[in-house]
Amino acid sequence: MALLGGVVGLIVLVVVIVVASGGGGSSSSDHASSGGKSANGAAGAKAKSADARATTSAYRRESRAITRVLGYTPFISRGSPAKKEVALTIDDGPGPLTPQFVRTLQRLRAPATFFIVGQQLNTFDAGLKDEITAGFPIGDHTEQHQTLPPLSPSLQNKAIQDAALRIRSYGVPYPRLFRPPGGAFNATTVSTLRQHRMLAVLWTVDTGDFTRPGTAAIVDRAVNRAKNGAIILMHDGGGDRSQTLAALPEIIRRLRARGFQLVTVPQMLLHDPPSRQQARPLSNGA
C-alpha cells in the first residue's frame, strides 16, 4: 500500500509539472500574438477592411465597369440617355455638415457618390467614416483642391495620390473615381489618372450651390436640368453648405416624382455606360 501510494504520488507530480509547463507556453503564445496585433495598429485592420470590401461581388462588378469605360474614354460627364437614371455627386468634403448629409441620404434611401478633398480629413474625418459606414462610393478630389493643368507632372501626381492614399487609410479600396477641381484637366492629368487606374468624373448639371443662391434655386437647377444619365454636382464642404443640405430632400423627392431612379456613379457605369463621345461641362463649379 505504501508502495502504491508512492507511485500514485509520483504520477500526480508528473502530471502537474506537464500541465503547468503547457499552460505557461500557451499563455506566452497568446500574449505574443496579442502584442503583435497591437503593434500592427489600426492601419492593418483598415487594410484588411479595404481588402474585404474589394472582394465583394458588387465592388468587383462596378470596378470592372469602370475599367471597361476607361478602355474608351478617360472621363465621363454623363451616362447614356437609354435609362432614366440620375447620379447625385457631392464634392469638397467632408465638412461639418457631412454627417447630416449622410443621415439624410440614408433616411431617404438615396444613393450618392462623394468626392473627397484630402486636407479636409484633418478636421472632419468623421464625415468620411460615416460615408464609408453607409456604403457610399468615395472618389478622389485632390489633396488641397488644386487646379491641375498649371502643375508639373510630379505635382499633379502628388495632388491625386496624396488624397487617394489618405482615403485608402480609412479602410476602403484605393479610389477608382476622380473629380478634377473645376473640371480642369490636361494630357498630363489623363496620363496620371491612367497610372492610378482612375476615371475622371465630370457632370451634366451644376446646381451652383457653392455660390449659395438659396435652397429653392438649388432644387430647381438640380431637378429642371436633369435628363436621362445626368450627373448632378453639389457640395458638402468648402463653405457653408446648409442651403444644399436643406435642398437635398426636395431634390430627391422631385427627381423621383419625375420617374428618375437615383444611382451611384459606379452603378450608372454598370447599368448605363456612357457613349464614346463625351462633352466637357461648361461650368467650373467643382
Catalytic machinery residues: 91, 235
Q: Given phi > 0 = left and psi -120 to 50 = alpha, else beta, which region is 212? A: left
The grid coordinates listed for 174 are 484605393
What are the two backbone dihedrals, phi and then psi, of residue 45, each rounded to the nearest 5 degrees? -65, -40
Distance, CA of 237 to CA of 91 (rounded, Å): 7
Q: How many CB atoms lie within 10 A of CB 190?
A: 13
Query: Which sign does the torsion angle of CA 270, 121, 166, 129 carry?
Result: negative
Distance, CA of 212 to CA of 223 (rounded, Å): 17
User: Is the CB of residue 56 less than 8 Å from the CB of residue 79?
Assistant: no
